A and B are shown apart, each in its own frame.
Chain A
Amino acid sequence: MSAQDRVIKKWLETNTFHHSEFWDLRELVRAKEEAGLTISLCIPTLNEEKTIGKEIIVFKSELMDRYPLVDELAVIDSGSTDRTLDIAKSYGADTYLSSDILPAQGSKPGKGENLWKAIHQLKGDVICYVDADIKNIHPKFVSGLVAPLLYREEIQYVKAFYDRPLAVSGGIRPSGGGRVTEILVRPLFSLFFPELTALMQPLSGEYAARREVLETLPFPIGYGVETSHLIDLYQAHGLAAFAQTDLDKRVHRNQSTIDLGKMSFGILQTFLNRLRHYDIVANLPEWEGLFRQIQAEGRTYDMLNHRIVEEERPPMVTLPEYQKRHGK
């Protein structure tokens, strides 16, 4: 076993949790109060009227009204054209349009933009991000992620993972990381950041982190935001800053292969940008961010070009508006 393998193995033993370890919400509230921390929950949205209401109801009831684990529950929206914001508001969430936050910084499309602006808008010492498209919502999606931060000071960033390995014919499937993880991100991490392969689902949209870490991270506003976080945080603090929690099962809508192609293209751009930033590879060419797909219909072949540019927001702590609002 290599030294790297030993690091990964040890980390898996000490920093991988199961949500059931944190079932006692009363105890979590006690730990939060003892640690003197406040927690903000952010749900980034864009046309999520089918699932947002249920998420708000469950989180507000279980994690605010019954057990005050979460101090702030906010929906940050990219400009939904459906009833997402009406529904969220009607069940007691604070709702914000991303474009109304830090107006001087302008508005960019993409989920990463909402996550970045949440750092400015929300007040908590810990921010927990949960996607809005979860059908089987449960308080564990938050409690399981914030708990390691309440109990272990050295942990800065906790990722969710789902769908534990299944027994399959011919052995055990290595992990259930999702298609883009398994065919793009895991191979890239294996080559360049092997220790990060310990994260079962590096792309999961559910994670919790300390403000002092989030405010120092640059934020790609598109598909690459999670990948970028992992690399930057790893470079700064090493694997020990991470933890991951098994949340069992997540039911959500599936994306088409074409959409996964676009996602992979965005992530790859972010990944290469980080390699360039850390001088890990030399002489990478500039690229125009054009993702090319070919569509065949009979003997007619069409090119479908998608411009996917991974713009990046600077670390929040560098913004004067943020420094003023948060007393930095």
Chain B
Amino acid sequence: MGEGTTEMKDSIARNRDLLREMKEILLANVVMAAEIPSPTGGERRLSRFLSDRFTECRLSDIADDQAGNMAGVLPGRNPRRNLLLAAHTDKVWPESEDHTVSVGVGTMSGRGIADNSLGVAVLATLPLLLERLDLQFDANLILLGTSRSFGRGNLGGMRFFLENTDREIDGALCVEGIDLGRLSYSSLGMARGEIRAEDAGNTQSVDLATSGVISSLHSLIGRILEMNRSYYPESRILLGTVEAVSGFNVPPQSGRLQFEIRGTDAAQVAAIEKTVVSIAASLDAESTEVDVEVEMFAHRKPGDLGVGHPLVRKARAVLGELGVKPKVEPSISELAALLQAGIPALTLGVTKGAHRHTFRESISVDPIFDGLAQLVAVLEFMDRNGEAQS
């Protein structure tokens, strides 16, 4: 299939209409995937859901692994090649939060519905969708729900899979619920860590007596913001959590700052990490009142498939046919591990959505079928044009 041809246009339009007929089946899977709590490291129940769906669809080689991934294979007609379609199964929400989904006209909302219940539902439904389209690939299609994507999980599921699978992966797509138009073909360098400050039990200064470790965290934040002004936009230090809690009138004795350094230049990311670690170390050394320590728990190397790669060009062309403007953004999720392993891969979004990672997280129903038609078109291209990608 060529790029931007009438054939492609007709095929996408036809597929979109057929896929729309599967609406309730897909949306029911979204509801069920979204209502199963699946915090990082606790994905077992959602993986089981995937396994049940894979079994119902009679996939082969359905198996979980030590890392908590769940895989199933849709065998190809000429299975010398293996394509991978992956969606992370963990959500940012703890088990205790209300995971109830609400369904309105054209929208669905609930915690984790976009990130990444919709992605998981696409995996669970894809065999039926391909059946409806009467499509069978030459390559094996491995459907993989990956565990431990977020935070300290550090892409543990995808890394484990890539390190231990006995199948050579010829190409991969990562599916994220939102946003349709997302096109990631590069990954950023990243270093993620936590700085912890503890009262050493030797309070002398006014600052510590009146604000506890807040004064130390404040000083750290000031230094980090200053660094950001030097490195931005090539690199940046994102502050995601600052925590030091003890009510209104008792200075907190412990606190933490969670941060992530991102950048396109691996050397610069490493240099920034080194600086942050040394700032924390000097704070620790300078003060007898507060103990400061740093823990780094995730790293990514930058990777880039390249804007001219056939897979990227195809994905752009498909989005163009759908009338969707590509939103190119580097990724730090599963794509990073795939690119690092030398596998041609993209991350694509399925639909429009809003309020990601809030209790109001929502997705639009109608664009889902554009998103699915996009995935199918790119998979078909990967299946037919294996040589062009390598």
B103's partner among A62, A65, A87, A251 (CB-CB below 8 A) is A87
B220 interface residue (CB < 8 Å to A): no
Closest chain B residue to A49 by CB distance?
A: B104
A53 interface residue (CB < 8 Å to B): yes
B28 interface residue (CB < 8 Å to A): yes
A53 and B100 contact, CB distance less than 8 A: no
Minimum Cβ distance to chain B for residue A233 (Å): 33
B284 interface residue (CB < 8 Å to A): no
A58 and B32 contact, CB distance less than 8 A: yes
A54 interface residue (CB < 8 Å to B): yes
Hey, what's the 0/1 contact readout for B97-109 against A, CB within 8 Å counting as 1?
A: 0001111111010
| Chain B residues in 8 Å Cβ range of A56 | 24
A190 interface residue (CB < 8 Å to B): no
B245 interface residue (CB < 8 Å to A): no
A92 interface residue (CB < 8 Å to B): yes
A50 interface residue (CB < 8 Å to B): yes
Closest chain A residue to B100 by CB distance?
A: A135
A50 and B24 contact, CB distance less than 8 A: no
Give CA–CA (A54, B23) in the complex, Å. Answer: 13
Closest chain B residue to A138 by CB distance?
A: B32
| Chain A residues in 8 Å Cβ range of B56 | 66
A87's partner among B25, B28, B35, B104 (CB-CB below 8 A) is B104
A175 interface residue (CB < 8 Å to B): no
A322 interface residue (CB < 8 Å to B): no
Hey, what's the 0/1 contact readout for A101-121 against B, CB within 8 Å counting as 1?
A: 000000000000000000000
A53's partner among B25, B29, B32, B104 (CB-CB below 8 A) is B104
A61 and B25 contact, CB distance less than 8 A: yes
Minimum Cβ distance to chain B for residue A179 (Å): 23
A58's partner among B28, B100, B106 (CB-CB below 8 A) is B28
| Chain B residues in 8 Å Cβ range of A92 | 23-24
Minimum Cβ distance to chain B for residue A82 (Å): 10
Hey, what's the 0/1 contact readout for B14-56 against A, CB within 8 Å counting as 1?
A: 0000000001110111011001000000000000000000001
Query: Which residues in window 75-113 of A have CB below 8 A to B?
Result: 83, 86-87, 90-92
Judged by DSSP, the binding face of B is helix
Hey, what's the 0/1 contact readout for B296-339 against A, CB within 8 Å counting as 1?
A: 00000000000000000000000000000000000000000000
| Chain B residues in 8 Å Cβ range of A61 | 24-25, 27-29
Contact (A136, B104) CB under 8 Å given A61-B25, A61-B27, A91-B24: no
Give CA–CA (A52, B101) in the complex, Å. Answer: 11
Give CA–CA (A136, B23) in the complex, Å. Answer: 20
Give CA–CA (A62, B52) in the complex, Å. Answer: 13
Judged by DSSP, the binding face of A is helix
B100 and A57 contact, CB distance less than 8 A: no
B28, B32, B101, B106, most chain A CB atoms within 10 A: B28
A54 and B105 contact, CB distance less than 8 A: no
Give CA–CA (A53, B27) in the complex, Å. Answer: 10
Give CA–CA (A49, B100) in the complex, Å. Answer: 15
Closest chain B residue to A51 by CB distance?
A: B102
B31 and A57 contact, CB distance less than 8 A: yes
A251's partner among B27, B29, B31, B100 (CB-CB below 8 A) is B100
| Chain A residues in 8 Å Cβ range of B103 | 52-54, 57, 87, 91
Minimum Cβ distance to chain B for residue A61 (Å): 3
Give CA–CA (A230, B31) in the complex, Å. Answer: 34
Give CA–CA (A60, B56) in the complex, Å. Answer: 17
Closest chain B residue to A54 by CB distance?
A: B103
A54 and B31 contact, CB distance less than 8 A: yes
Closest chain B residue to A139 by CB distance?
A: B28
A65 and B24 contact, CB distance less than 8 A: yes
Minimum Cβ distance to chain A for residue B153 (Å): 27
| Chain B residues in 8 Å Cβ range of A87 | 103-105
Give CA–CA (A58, B101) in the complex, Å. Answer: 12
B104 and A91 contact, CB distance less than 8 A: no
Give CA–CA (A254, B109) in the complex, Å. Answer: 22
Query: Which residues in window 156-209 of A have CB below 8 A to B?
Result: none
A50 and B27 contact, CB distance less than 8 A: no
A57's partner among B24, B105, B106 (CB-CB below 8 A) is B24
| Chain B residues in 8 Å Cβ range of A49 | 104
| Chain B residues in 8 Å Cβ range of A90 | 105-106
Query: Which residues in window 82-123 of B have CB below 8 A to A?
Result: 100-106, 108
| Chain B residues in 8 Å Cβ range of A91 | 23-24, 27, 103
Closest chain B residue to A83 by CB distance?
A: B105
A66's partner among B23, B25, B100 (CB-CB below 8 A) is B25
Give CA–CA (A255, B102) in the complex, Å. Answer: 20
| Chain B residues in 8 Å Cβ range of A57 | 24, 27-28, 31, 103
A136's partner among B25, B29, B35 (CB-CB below 8 A) is B35
Give CA–CA (A51, B104) in the complex, Å. Answer: 9
Give CA–CA (A52, B108) in the complex, Å. Answer: 12
| Chain A residues in 8 Å Cβ range of B104 | 49, 53, 83, 87
Give CA–CA (A60, B103) in the complex, Å. Answer: 14
| Chain A residues in 8 Å Cβ range of B25 | 61, 65-66
B101's partner among A54, A62, A65, A86 (CB-CB below 8 A) is A54
Minimum Cβ distance to chain B for residue A142 (Å): 13
Minimum Cβ distance to chain A for residue B101 (Å): 6
Give CA–CA (A61, B25) in the complex, Å. Answer: 5
Give CA–CA (A73, B102) in the complex, Å. Answer: 20
Give CA–CA (A135, B98) in the complex, Å. Answer: 11
| Chain A residues in 8 Å Cβ range of B35 | 136
A52, A58, A135, A136, most chain B CB atoms within 10 A: A58
Closest chain A residue to B30 by CB distance?
A: A57
| Chain A residues in 8 Å Cβ range of B27 | 57, 61, 91
| Chain B residues in 8 Å Cβ range of A86 | 105
Give CA–CA (A60, B28) in the complex, Å. Answer: 8
Give CA–CA (A248, B166) in the complex, Å. Answer: 42
Please name 7 pairs of A and B residues whose Cβ atoms are closer than 8 Å in the assembled complex, sorted by A: A53-B103, A56-B24, A57-B24, A61-B24, A91-B23, A92-B24, A135-B100
Given A53-B108, A65-B25, 10 extra CB contacts under 8 A: A51-B102, A54-B102, A57-B24, A57-B27, A57-B103, A60-B24, A61-B28, A83-B105, A86-B105, A90-B105
Query: Nearest 6 pairs between A and B by C-beta?
Result: A53-B103, A61-B28, A61-B24, A54-B103, A60-B24, A61-B25
